[in-house]
Amino acid sequence: VLWPVGVARLIGYVPGFALLWVLAGASTDTVKQAVGTMILVALAIQLGLRVKPREKLEQGWGWLAGLVGGVTAGAVGMGGPPLVLWVVAHDWPAKQARLFLWASFWFVMPIQIVVLVLMFEPATQLKMTGIGVLTLPIAMVGTAAGLWLGQRIPKRQLRWAMIALLVVLGVSSLVGPMV
């Protein structure tokens, strides 16, 4: 998790948080559409190139996934898709893929919280914390269901499920504001 993806994510947070500051005045719909487009383009490239999953990738791909994940996490709070694409390019057991993703998200969470607290006014922080606390039970039930289901899905099907989830996320982000 730390090398190279984690370190790259930390580096990517710097321009990501700067971009967040710029995007704070932009329309939410515009930001969602940009993120959706990026997800779909990256997924199309990966599928178009017919990337064959392998045990280990060149370090440059880890750096790229980490940097893009850091920038998107810092800017719009959605750093997962580049990491999921990187994981899907590996021929890992389902458990290893899940553990990597969970560990990589928890690794940067304290940093993200500190920066967001420093960037936004207390009223906004309190409102968002309240929403987070109120929706926590839903997130916990969803996580438990996802972990239960993920343990029962074979590796190949889990890989395609992650790709399908990225397609749904990308399409909904892109067309959602227009509907």
List, as one string, the DSSP characters of 113-134.
HHHHHHHS-HHHHHHHHHHHHH
SS3 content of the chain, % helix, strand, coil (to 5): 85, 0, 15
Q: Is 90 exceeded by the pLDDT of residue 7?
A: yes
pLDDT tens-digit map of 25-67: 778 788 888 888 888 988 888 788 887 888 888 999 999 999 9
Q: Which backbone phi and psi does 176 adopt, to 5 degrees? A: -50, -50
User: In the structure encoding, which two tokens stand for residue 129, read together?
Assistant: 């914390």
Q: Is the peptide bond before 110 cis (omega within 30 degrees of 0)?
A: no
Q: Tokens for 27?
A: 């329309």
Question: Could you report the per-residue pLDDT of 122-158, keeping only the tens digit for each?
Answer: 888 889 889 989 999 999 999 899 888 878 888 788 8
Cα distance between residue 143 and residue 158, in whole Å = 15
Closest among 98, 86, 94, 95 to 58, alpha carbons compared: 86
Between CA 27 and CA 63, with CA 119 as vertex, the angle to 5 degrees is 80
Q: Give the tens place of pLDDT for each residue, 61-105.
A: 999 999 999 998 888 878 888 898 899 889 888 788 888 988 988
Whether pTM > 0.75 for this model: the answer is: no
- Nearest to residue 162, comparing CAs of 39, 25, 38? 39
What is the pLDDT, as a whole number, of residue 69? 92
CB 76 within 8 A of CB 20: yes
